[in-house]
Structure 1
Amino acid sequence: PVWGKAAPKTKVTVTFGKFKAKAVADGKGHWQAMLPSQKASFEGCVFTVKAGKQQLTLDNVVVGEVWVAAGQSNMEYTMKKYRTYQKPYKGKDLAAEELTKSENTKIRVFTCPRKGNDTGWNNANSESLPMVSAPGYFCVRHLQDSLQVPVGIISTAVGGTMVETWRKGGECTTK
């Protein structure tokens, strides 16, 4: 599914590679179009949404896994080490080592900063990785190595938040 908002009753066309889907925005402007299921692929395609005279085009969109790294301080621990962070007790500093590697086009990162604007999806590299969750990134890197498909990570952890923030509806239910 692909969804969004447009002016009420606007015709919407979604195109991804050779696939196309259409929808019409309801009275409140909400719409949803259904593209067929896709196989994972490293081949980047153009993704376009056209609603009336407006058009959004994204280049180099791949199909694969997307994982969200959300939570509190342990998940917030970023790839870039700050002076207050301790170095590993034993072994190499894997996060620092990862920041020196060349671009990894098999892993895409999206960081949700506390303040300011996000920078969109980027290939994993020394510029895009510093503010990404280190535990999240290494989990995604392991998944990519294991599954051999493109993997994206949305890094949206915020230290010091109440645990209720990260539970659905802020309520704890038990059976």
Structure 2
Amino acid sequence: MQALCVVVTIGTVIQTASVNIGMFLAGRVLAGYAVGSGLVGTVPIYLSEISSPEHRGLIGGISGCGIAFGTMMSNWVGFACSYASYGPTQWRLPLGMQVPWGVILFCGLATFMPDSPRQLLRIGKVDDARREFLKIRRDLDPQSAYQEFALMRAQIEYEVEREVKSYKEIFKLFRHRALV
């Protein structure tokens, strides 16, 4: 997610500083890719991984509301800037106002973002996963934390065991059903 913040910021700076349509579109593609396929897709998944089961839905909903609020604010900024005197300020200011948010998000993620225990389990770092899980879920008593971690570990092992490694396997395993 931190790398995506850098890509968004670079794309936004390119858009804001653009001197021709090609430069503007290049910045737009960079920023759009990072936001659309990266941040909007990965942030809710990450939030659901690090939140407690009883708060998971609420936190996911708040994430969606944050995205909607940001979209609404960008529309209001664009509307307000449409009344600026005609010139580059009219379109550069709304674009440039996106840059600080990418920097703030990057700094916040670099400072406060814990690693995903699920991802650590997937790559075999069980002790690191346990440490991160206990940091995230410090509200639980040790027995409950151990039980939840064991359940998560069993689920990850189950998923890894049944994981399809290539597209070729998809058609190989279910060929008969796919043809019918």
Please indicate, yes or no, whether the TM-score normalized by the shorter chain is above 0.5: no
Instruction: Using structure 1 for the length normalisation, give the TM-score.
Output: 0.21
Give 1 or 2: higher strand fraction: 1
Give 1 or 2: higher helix fraction: 2
Larger gyration radius, structure 1 or structure 2: 2
